[in-house]
Chain A
Amino acid sequence: MNILIFEQYSYSYAPDLQAALKDINLEIKKDECTVILGPSGAGKTTFCLAAAGLLTSYPASVSSGTVKKPVPTIRTALVMQNFYSQITYLRNTVFEEVAFPLENMGLPRPEIFKRVNDVLSQMKIQHLAMRNPLELSGGEKQKIVIATALAQKPDVLILDEPLSQLDPESTSYLSDILHQLKGSITIIIAENDPYLILKIADKIAALSNGEIVSYGDVSTVFNSVGGKLVELPAWSICAREYETAEDGLSSSSPGYILGYKAALKKLGGQK
């Protein structure tokens, strides 16, 4: 079943600006994890905002086509690239900040308490519960915003570069959380981190200049345009995959292929 359908969707932030998205045709299936890949300015953030239904509010924008929700009641939660602007700062504690959207959803108080405690524990940030969000570091704020989105238990979770300020340990926690959620909710994630992509992606949509230039499973996209589009540090992919592989590295895995090619190229350059 499709949960979001982009039909010939184009979007410009203003009439005199280049289109941020051009003729996007994409069906996102329920409980599938789609990674949006591409260089800066390719349209990843605009895609996330369109998927969250937030773009219609820009007054000077120009759009055509539609983003359909076959089931209108589906709930989406978005973690924005500039997550700093997403914290309300209306509340004095992290606990209340995470509870804020749940109160607005009209959930009973015991359910709110349970969800907030669960998500703070899941993100390993219980120690921040009574801190004022204003006093936190950038990475801690990013974790609060991610926790706030997870607490809503959305049907569609949209994450725009959610790892940008996280330390490696927190990156690993979030990867595990998303891996556990995979298959039970729909995830759309704009991210160039190869480790996360390999771990959670069912499908990759590769964007370039606002257009989808490749769509498919991980191997298909990586082998066609992945490296060219984002200049992935292929050697690192290979190494990270090797590190996490339980039974050794499969010679058909994308990390292996890219890593092998990159290693050969580098070695060739040293001759």
Chain B
Amino acid sequence: MRVAFDSVTFSYGEYPALKTVSFEIESGTTTLIVGRNGSGKSTILKLMNGILKPTAGRVVLGETDTRTKKVSELSRSYALCFQNPDDQLFADTVSRELTFGIDNIGTGRNLLDLVIDTLELRPILSSNPYSLSYAMRRLVAIGSVAAMDTPVLALDEPTAGLSFREKEKVALLLQKLKSRKKTLVIVSHDLNFALPICQKILLLSKGSILFFGNRGEFFSKEDIRQVMRASGMTFPIYPRMARALGLTQPAFTCNELLIGLKAATTIKLDSN
């Protein structure tokens, strides 16, 4: 399912969060939204399911103008995992938390086992979410939203507070959802986590779009360093090394970097 923003403006009181923003996320793609704190990233996610309505312009989810439907109706198409998991969790067991959304929108439990097993939640199904660590609460929040099996899934800073191992579980879940042709939208500062998953990048600055396009195109830009610095981001390690080594293709994972290196040269290993 596609999501389109058509000249969307949104203000919190007198402070503009988005300024005449237009873009279209194609069905089945994975998009990473990046930008400084306060650049409008979370606002975009909240506009997609009508929690916020545009001050001007329109947001179209599938073929539906979000101004014409209730959030409860739009939630059959779009699920959002909030930035703060504690805003989302309320059930007295992890199991009830994971099934609440599914049972309410009636999408069926097709993804439930996949989510539970990928995020390794089975040992804590009978636990109270509030007896868990913050990181585990975040995994439960992600799982409860992913299990809803909506065509569009958005995650706001899904790795905040997670350890490296937990990030790997979330990355694996997102890869599995990608293979099921879900439309994924991820807001994250954690480029090392998000870049290997995402095909498209939407870069925001002060409520305006600086770039929207393929990640390869983004990291092939001549002035990429300046663009990233001006947007408060650091140049992630793998694309930076690929560029420094003069590889023809950008790399977003260690393996891609090594494949690029192997193609370019013969690596002699010091087995010691």
Chain B residue at minimal CB-CB distance from A43: B133
Q: Is the CB of A82 within 8 A of B163?
A: no
Q: Which B residues between 217 and 238 are near A, CB-CB below 8 angstroms?
A: 232-234, 237
Contacts A139-B37, A143-B37, A169-B232 hold; do A270 and B262 have CB atoms under 8 A apart? yes
Chain A residue at minimal CB-CB distance from B11: A135
Q: Is the CB of B165 within 8 A of A231?
A: yes
Q: Is the CB of B271 within 8 A of A131?
A: no
A138 within 8 A of B: yes
**Which one of A136, A142, A233 contacts B192 once the chains associate, using CB atoms below 8 Å?**
A233
Segment at the B interface, from A70-78, A180-188, A260-268 = A260-268
Chain B neighbourhood of A168, CB < 8 A:
189, 232-234
Over the window 236-272 of chain B, the binary record of Cβ atoms lying under 8 Å from chain A Cβ atoms (1 yes, 0 no) is 0100010000000000001100110010000101110
Chain B neighbourhood of A50, CB < 8 A:
none
Chain A residue at minimal CB-CB distance from B189: A167
Interface residues on B, range: 35 or more
A171 to B19, CA, bound (A): 26
Q: Is the CB of A140 within 8 A of B37?
A: yes
A85 within 8 A of B: yes
Segment at the B interface, from A26-34, A158-166, A217-225 = A158-166
Q: How far is the CB of B90 from chain A (nearest CB, A)?
A: 15
Segment at the A interface, from B101-109, B154-162, B178-186 = B154-162
Over the window 72-94 of chain A, the binary record of Cβ atoms lying under 8 Å from chain B Cβ atoms (1 yes, 0 no) is 00000000011011000000000
Chain A contributes a number of interface residues (CB within 8 A of B) equal to 46
A198 within 8 A of B: no
A136 to B42, CA, bound (A): 10
A226 to B144, CA, bound (A): 32
Q: Which B residues between 1 and 50 are near A, CB-CB below 8 angstroms?
A: 12-13, 15, 35-38, 41-42
Q: How far is the CB of B270 from chain A (nearest CB, A)?
A: 7
Chain A residue at minimal CB-CB distance from B237: A239
Q: Which B residues between 137 and 163 are near A, CB-CB below 8 angstroms?
A: 156-157, 160-163
**Which one of A45, A139, A140 contacts B134 once the chains associate, using CB atoms below 8 Å?**
A45
B99 within 8 A of A: no
A17 within 8 A of B: yes
A14 to B164, CA, bound (A): 29
Q: How far is the CB of B138 from chain A (nearest CB, A)?
A: 9
A235 within 8 A of B: yes
A253 within 8 A of B: no
B197 within 8 A of A: no
B135 within 8 A of A: yes
Chain B residue at minimal CB-CB distance from A230: B163
B65 within 8 A of A: no
A249 within 8 A of B: no
B86 within 8 A of A: yes
Q: Is the CB of A82 within 8 A of B84?
A: yes
A117 within 8 A of B: no
Q: How far is the CB of A229 from chain B (nearest CB, A)?
A: 9
Known: A40-B135, A84-B86, A165-B37. 18 other contacts (CB 8 A): A40-B162, A41-B132, A41-B133, A45-B134, A135-B15, A136-B38, A137-B42, A139-B37, A164-B160, A166-B37, A167-B36, A172-B234, A192-B163, A231-B163, A232-B164, A236-B237, A264-B269, A267-B267
Jot down 9 A-B pairs with beta carbons below 8 A, ordered by A.
A84-B86, A84-B87, A85-B86, A139-B189, A143-B37, A164-B160, A167-B37, A168-B233, A233-B192
